[in-house]
Structure 1
Amino acid sequence: MGCGHRFCRACLSRSWRVAAPAFSCPECRRVSQVREFPAVDGHLARLTDLSQELCSQLVQSTEAQSRCTRHKHVLKVFCEEDQTPLSVRCSRSPGHGAHQLSPVRETAHSFREKLQRIRTRVRKHLKEAEKLLAKGQTPAVDWRRMISAEYTKLEDFLLSEKSRRLERMKEDERASRARLSQRLQTLQDLLLELQRADHRPSVDLLQGVKQLLGRSESVLSQRAKAATPELGEDPLPGVIEILSGFRVDITLDPTSAGPCVTVSEDLRSVKAEEGWQVENPHPEDLARHYVFAEQTLSSGRQYWEVDVTQLPQWTLGIHTPHSRIKRGRNVDSCPPVFLLRCVKKEEGSYFQSYPGSLNYRVRGPVPRIGVYLEDAPGTIAFYNVLQRSLIYRFFPIVFTEPISPIFSPGPPLPGTKAGPMTLCPVDSHLCACCYSPL
């Protein structure tokens, strides 16, 4: 090198493997502004070749002095099977009589040639790796920047979508309050009109009483519709795709099934039996109407999906002993189950939560339910997989392990035979284009 220090090319290559603004001497750290390997020192190269030749002769001389420990004879034969050098006398022993033997020098020479070929290939691969590493310092495409920009765009889209959805919910709430205010005003006006009619003379009363009664019935008939809340359908972009990354393979435990349910042979479906009591049992009555999963869940995030297409009524949730719910700074005890129930009534289907106050009418069919469990912070959430929307969320909960998913395919409607509740495989997906209601 320019500073006078000499190195072998392989060592210098390792020292300069990572591209740098300038090359420096590994010995004195003097920086060279020329980004090229130094010229080969011819005299030193010849000395190196001579030293290698002398080293080879020394090795051969040493080999000639090697002797077997048993007979003290020179090791002149190599056993291919045992990969062991032997003396001529040792090679004639019964242990090596049928083995393939060859002279030590010829075998060693053959292996040295193989090693030389391998060294040549290693040097070639080394140069290729150095070139690739040099190219990797300045990639042709800045993928990190591109991917970062995509995530930024996605974040902006989600924030915009969040603001739009929340504003729409505010508008819906304002519209709902306006409708309630209008109904209140209508009822007040009707009550005032009825009071005035009661004080009219009989002849005047009879002339308009039929129209007044008709209006009254019309106003009062709107009460049930106004008092029945509907569960909103607000799709969350990408939520099911994200949660699918935490899917777990769950099967049913037939030993936990009560007398009112039957588990399939593949442990993925459960059906209601004829002995089921039609009336709704208490949610904590797990003995007769529920079946537990074989697996118990602990820390982390888990997600699973359940097909309820053939069920008019069902219950899904988890069982966890001694759970508690946080309310501000206080932590209150709560039942050991967290459930989402679908209940069929004359005016339609309703989603109900236990514990909780959810009692909302469902607009359309919900063929598949997604269940997401997270221990920190404690959350269990239920999703409409087809609509990509949230149904209900219990939060925050202090879980205690183990946590067991529970399933109930009923109660069946009187006079009907409900189908199975089925656990969906981990690799299954549902979208609106491929779903056709029964």
Structure 2
Amino acid sequence: LSLGILQARILRNEVTCSLCVKYFIDLVTLGCGHSFCMPCLCLYWEEGQWPPRCPVCRETPHQLSLKTNIILKTRVFLARRTGPYDVPRSAEKMCELHGKTKNLFCEITKEVLCLVCCMSVEHGAHTHCSVEWTAEEYRQRLLKIMRSVWEKIQENKRNLNRETNKIRTWESYVTMWKKMNQTQYWKMFYLVYYGEKHRLEKIEEESKEIFQQLKESQYNMDLKRKLLRQIYEELKELCCKSDMELIQVRMESVQLHMPRPVVPQLSAWPIPGLIDWLNQFQVYVALDNERVTPCVPVFEDLRCLLAVPDGPGVNNSPPRSKYFLAWGAESFTSGQCYWEVDVAGCCNWAIGFCNDSWMRDSDMVLDSEGIFLLLCIRENSQCSFFTASPLSPQYVKRPLGRVGLFLDFDGGVVSFVNVANSSLICSFLSCSFSSPLRPFLCSGHS
């Protein structure tokens, strides 16, 4: 091989992506030093396992911070003007009137013209730009659309993951919800046969309807996933076209209507006399060990479990919060007790009972033993309910005011009720309390 051909090949390898083997578009460089097209990297990591790795050296980047190599981007821009992927000069369209190369683009008529045509009476007052710069502007507009599509792909991915998790846990939740209501009815001796039977029938009817909605939502999101990927890949192919081909493409906005996830909620009907019955066990809870902290491990654990890893170029970090924590001054070792907490105006909170070992920050994790908590956490403008431990989603309407907490230490039951609605939220049943339990509350504000 001649030295010139060898140098040309080296240059071509330097300015082409190893994934698509075409000129870089939206070039980014990983910490290991290897560079790729941003769209190629997005698609590659979307298909691969998490955490992401460099496609060349397989190194796992410590952070997903992607750098821009300005010098290399400039070389790509220059190489695109003369490289083998562009239409050769001899094949460029020549002006039939003047025999000159048509290398200028008219912004008004959207025509490719020669210099003499641009100076004519017909085009003299129009704005003209070189084909190369016009094509580069088009590429940047396409890349902006692609970034928007990619964000929608990640949003749909998160929603699809959540919908799949809801379907996976729905049947076991409905079974437990029936058992919670059954237990509460028997405890109240209220319409033991008719009330209980009627409630269980309504739960079964509602649960089947919501489950069907979840399946339909999952199907629609999967279709949207395929459509978004197809749009993204088509836009990427447009970016790779030669300058002359690209400026002939009509730029149109991409309308992306995203399917919204189902918010499954079983009805929590009022139980007449519930609050009056609970009030006979009401106690005054004095708080102790009060403090404010920017980080609570139990919430950090929950956010990590709920998070779906985003691809590069998407920042979905939740806003920082400050948390108020407090424990009851006294713990309970027997009998029954009831107290209430007002959660109005707060979307990140945790209330319940815990053993004394959970008073240390280092031990406040989700999978701890001896915690019986109801947690509410805000995710993307939507609040979700969970109980811990073990961690389980709760599909009932979020209380906007006072929540009642009932502990039957000897019976092994912890229940949470919506005071305003006089309805059950959830219960821990058949528990075995091996140590004293202390009231706990935590609230967070962004």
TM-score band, normalised by shorter chain: 0.3 to 0.5
Compute the TM-score of the two structures, normalised by the length of structure 1. Answer: 0.41
Larger Rg: 1
